[in-house]
C-alpha cells in the first residue's frame, strides 16, 4: 500500500489538536504544532502533504504561516481553520494561497476528510497536467522538423541544449535551410513558449522604418507618426524576438541592438524615456557575417554578442540522406491537403530527388513535392511529375535538342492539369475530377479560380 500522506495540524488549543489527530491519524501520518514558529521549523525540515492550521495562533497568525509554507519549493496543500463568522478572512486566505478553509465551529470530521482528499487530488492532477503540457511542448517544438543525417542530429542536440536558456542564438545557413523553423523550435522548447514569438524580417524595411518597427515611436516622432506605436521589442516582452536577415541592418540600428544586448534597455524613437524588456534574441542570416565584419559593414562587437551560440544549418546537398525523409513528409502533408491518395515515389523519382543539387534547399524541395503531387495522376510520384528544374538538373550535361524547360508555377501546372482532364473526358466534370483525384467541390472551386468554367 502507498504511504499515508503527511499532515501537519497547527492549533494552540490542545483539545482541538488532539481531537483532530485522533480523527485523522487512521488515514494520515499526523504531526502537530502549537504555534507558527514550531510549525515553520517542521515545514522546513521535512515535506508535508497537507497543512491544516488555525487562523488565531500565538505570535504569527495562520495566514502568515500559509504564505510561508507556500513559498517552499514543494509547498503543502494549505487549509485554514477559522472561527465561525469570519468568512471574509477566509476569502482573504484563499487569495493568499490557501487551498481551502473550514469554519471551526461547524467542523464535521467527514467533511474535513473529504476536503483534504479533494485538495490532494486537485494537486495531483495539476502536477500531472504540468508534466503533460511540458511533454506536449517538447514534441511540438520539433515534431515538424525532419532530419536524420549526422549534421542535423547535431543541430537538434545543440537546440535542445540552448533552448531552455536565455542565450542569444545566431542561426546561419543558405536560403531555405530551415533557419526560421529552428528559431521557432528554440522558442517552443524554452520556458518562454507561452509568451510571444515575434519575427521581424529586417531586410523588408527601410532603415528608419525598421528602427521604429523594432523600438516603437512616440506620436509626432517623425512625419507620418500620427500615433504612438509599440515596437516589436515591447511586443515580445517575456518571449522571443526573431531578427531574420540580421546582416541587412544599418549602423545606427546595430548600435541600438548592441546596447539592448548589453543593458536590455532601449528608447522609442522620439522619446528619451528608457524602457527595458525581458526578451530573448534569436537572429538569422544567410550572409557571411564574418565577411561583413571584415568589410566594415557589420560591427564586430555586435557580431560577437549575437554569436554567443551559432547554429550552422548545412545546405541540403551536404546532407542528402535527409532528402527521402523530407520528401516523404512533404508528400504526406500535401496529399492530405489536396485529398489525393498518393503516398510514394517511384525509384526513378526518388533518385532524381537524391541527385539534384537543391540550390533553394529544403524550401525548394517542398515546392517541388507540391508541384509533383498536383501533377501526379497515379498513386505514386513519378519522375515526369517532378518540376523541370529538378529533371533538368538530372539530365546528362546539356542534352542537345532538349527544351530549356521553363519552371511552371504550381498554379500554372494545376491549371494545365485540369484543362487536360476536361479535354480527355469531353468536359465531364465528375469524371475529370475523379481522374485527377480531386473532390468535386475542390474541382469546381478551381474551375472558378482558373476561369475554366466555360470548358
Ligand atoms: N528540417 C526540416 N524539416 C521540415 N521542414 C523543413 C526543414 N527545414 C526547412 N523546412 C521547411 O522548409 C521551408 C524553408 O524553411 P525556413 O523558412 O525555416 O528557411 P530559412 O532558412 O529561414 O530560409 P530563408 O533564408 O530563405 O528565409 C519551410 O517551409 C520549412 O518549414
Ligand atoms: Mg527565413
Q: What is the pLDDT of residue 1?
A: 47
pLDDT, tens only, 252-276: 999 999 999 999 999 999 999 999 9
User: How many angstroms does the Cα of residue 273 sit away from the middle of ligand 1?
Assistant: 39
Beta strands 274-276 and 100-103 are unpaired
Residues 330 and 369 sit within 8 Å (Cβ to Cβ): yes
Q: What residues make up the domain containing 287?
A: 165-314
Instruction: Give me the residues paired with residue 243 across strands.
Output: 200, 283
Which residue has 479533494 as its cell numbers?
118
Taking CA atoms, 351 is separated from 144, 281, 347, 394, 418, in Å, by: 24, 40, 6, 9, 28
Does a structural domain hold residue 371? yes
**The length of the chain, given as a count of residues:** 455
169 CA → ligand 1 middle, Å: 17
Q: Determine which residue's CA is closest to atom 15 belonging to ligand 1.
A: 178
Give the count of domains, the chain. 3
**Do 306 and 203 belong to one domain?**
yes
Q: Return the H-helix or E-strand segment holding 88.
A: helix 87-95
Ligand 1 atom at shortest distance from the alpha carbon of 174: 25
Query: For 274-283, how does the pLDDT look when each residue is reduced to its tens digit (9 = 90+)?
Result: 999 999 999 9
pLDDT of residue 129: 66
Same domain flag for 243 and 170 = yes
Confidence of residue 407 (pLDDT cuts 50, 70, 90): very low
Nearest CA to ligand 1 atom 5: 145
Backbone CA torsion sign across 448, 451, 452, 455: positive
Cell numbers 524580417: residue: 201
Q: How far apart are CA 89 and CA 87, in angstroms?
A: 5
Closest residue CA from atom 10 of ligand 1:
178
Structure confidence by residue, pLDDT tens digits, 55-72: 989 989 999 999 899 888
β-partners of residue 302 are none
C-alpha 198/C-alpha 187 separation (Å) is 10
Clarify whether residues 298 and 332 are in a common domain: no
pLDDT digits 0-9 by tens, 138-175: 445 677 898 888 899 999 999 999 999 999 999 999 99
The residues lining ligand 1, judged by C-beta closer than 6 Å to any ligand atom, are 145-147, 173, 175-181, 286, 326, 362-363, 366
In a domain, 134, yes or no: no
Do 192 and 309 lie in one domain? The reply is yes
Do residues 328 and 444 both lie within one domain? Answer: yes
Domain harbouring 218, CATH code:
3.40.50.300
Amino acid at each position: 500500500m502507498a504511504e499515508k500522506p503527511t499532515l501537519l495540524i497547527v492549533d494552540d488549543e490542545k483539545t482541538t489538536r488532539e481531537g483532530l489527530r485522533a480523527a485523522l491519524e487512521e488515514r494520515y501520518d499526523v504531526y502537530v504544532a502549537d504555534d507558527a514558529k514550531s510549525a515553520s521549523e517542521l515545514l522546513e525540515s521535512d515535506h508535508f502533504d497537507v497543512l491544516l492550521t488555525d487562523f488565531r495562533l500565538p505570535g504569527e497568525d495562520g495566514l502568515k504561516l500559509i504564505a510561508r509554507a507556500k513559498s517552499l519549493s514543494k509547498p503543502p496543500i494549505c487549509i485554514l481553520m477559522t472561527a465561525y463568522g469570519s468568512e471574509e478572512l477566509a476569502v482573504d486566505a484563499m487569495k493568499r494561497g490557501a487551498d481551502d478553509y473550514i469554519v471551526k465551529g461547524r467542523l464535521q470530521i467527514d467533511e474535513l476528510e473529504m476536503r483534504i482528499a479533494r485538495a490532494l487530488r486537485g494537486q495531483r492532477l495539476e502536477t500531472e497536467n504540468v508534466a503533460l503540457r511540458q511533454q506536449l511542448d517538447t514534441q511540438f517544438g520539433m515534431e515538424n522538423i525532419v532530419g536524420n543525417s549526422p549534421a542535423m542530429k547535431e543541430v537538434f542536440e545543440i537546440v535542445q541544449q540552448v533552448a531552455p536558456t536565455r542565450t542569444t542564438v545566431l542561426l546561419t545557413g543558405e536560403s531555405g535551410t530551415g533557419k526560421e523553423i529552428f528559431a521557432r523550435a528554440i522558442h517552443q522548447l524554452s520556458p518562454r513558449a507561452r509568451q510571444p514569438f515575434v519575427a521581424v524580417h529586417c531586410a523588408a524595411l527601410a532603415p528608419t522604418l525598421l528602427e521604429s518597427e523594432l523600438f516603437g515611436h512616440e506620436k509626432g516622432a517623425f512625419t507620418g507618426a500620427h500615433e504612438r506605436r509599440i515596437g516589436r521589442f515591447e511586443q515580445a516582452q517575456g518571449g522571443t524576438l526573431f531578427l531574420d536577415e540580421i546582416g541587412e541592418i544599418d549602423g545606427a540600428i546595430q548600435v541600438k541592438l548592441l546596447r539592448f544586448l548589453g543593458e536590455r534597455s532601449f528608447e522609442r524613437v522620439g522619446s528619451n524615456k528608457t524602457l527595458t524588456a525581458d526578451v530573448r534574441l534569436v537572429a538569422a542570416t544567410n550572409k557571411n557575417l564574418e565577411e561583413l565584419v571584415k568589410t566594415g559593414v557589420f560591427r564586430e562587437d555586435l557580431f560577437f554578442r549575437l554569436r554567443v551560440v551559432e547554429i550552422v544549418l548545412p545546405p541540403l546537398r551536404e546532407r542528402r540522406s535527409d532528402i527521402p525523409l523530407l520528401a516523404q513528409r512533404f508528400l504526406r502533408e500535401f496529399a492530405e491537403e489536396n485529398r489525393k491518395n498518393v503516398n510514394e515515389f517511384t525509384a526513378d523519382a526518388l533518385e532524381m530527388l537524391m541527385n539534384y543539387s537543391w540550390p533553394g534547399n529544403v524550401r525548394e524541395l517542398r515546392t517541388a513535392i507540391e508541384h509533383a503531387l498536383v501533377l501526379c495522376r497515379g498513386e505514386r510520384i513519378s519522375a515526369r511529375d517532378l518540376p523541370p528544374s529538378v529533371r533538368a538538373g538530372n539530365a546528362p550535361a546539356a542534352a542537345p535538342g532538349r527544351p530549356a524547360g521553363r519552371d511552371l508555377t504550381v498554379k500554372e501546372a494545376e491549371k494545365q492539369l485540369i484543362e487536360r482532364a476536361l479535354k480527355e473526358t469531353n468536359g465531364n466534370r465528375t469524371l475529370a475530377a475523379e481522374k485527377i483525384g480531386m473532390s468535386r467541390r475542390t474541382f469546381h472551386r478551381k474551375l472558378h479560380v482558373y476561369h475554366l468554367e466555360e470548358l
